[in-house]
Amino acid sequence: MRISCQFNVFYRDYQHDVSISSSNPEPLEGDRLVSLAEHLLSDPDNFLGVEDSSHTVLQLYANEDGSIVMELLYAESTGCLQLKGTRQQAMEILDRLPAVFENGLLPGANYIVPEG
């Protein structure tokens, strides 16, 4: 049985012109993440960020092809772990988020370093 915990979230919903800034995230119970993500990730321009208790961020956004890109961003890192998966896979990950995110959260992810 999953123990629910609270996460800080930020997001942007362009269709409804609603957002929460990453510099001022709001708390949300973990058991509400899937319903929020299902709503937000229906449009490829929207995104959702979930911050754990160690300030590591899981960021999700939809691609035009319907896949979901999941990125694990660590506060002190220049790169991120990135995984392109299905909507179902993303929702399963959100449904079982631990209080602290680790590399194993995104099995098969690649480490991406921004160019420049």
pLDDT tens digit at each of 116 positions of the chain:
445 689 999 999 998 899 999 999 999 999 999 999 999 998 888 999 999 988 999 999 999 998 999 999 988 888 899 999 999 999 999 999 999 999 899 999 999 987 76
The H or E element that residue 81 is part of is strand 80-85
Is residue 25 packed enough to be buried (19+ CB in 10 Å), middle (13-18) or exposed (0-12)?
A: middle
Give the Cα separation of 19 and 101 in Å (integer). Answer: 23
pLDDT of residue 114: 78
pLDDT of residue 1: 41
Q: Answer yes or no: pTM beyond 0.95.
A: no
Tell me the DSSP string of 9-72.
Answer: EEEEETTTTEEE-TTS-EEEEGGGHHHHHHHHTTSTT-EEEEE-TTS-EEEEEE-TTS-EEEEE
Give the Cα separation of 109 and 4 in Å (integer). Answer: 25
φ/ψ region of 17 (left if φ > 0, alpha if ψ in -120 to 50, else beta) reads left
pLDDT of residue 76: 80
3-state SS assignment for residue 112? strand
pLDDT of residue 100: 93
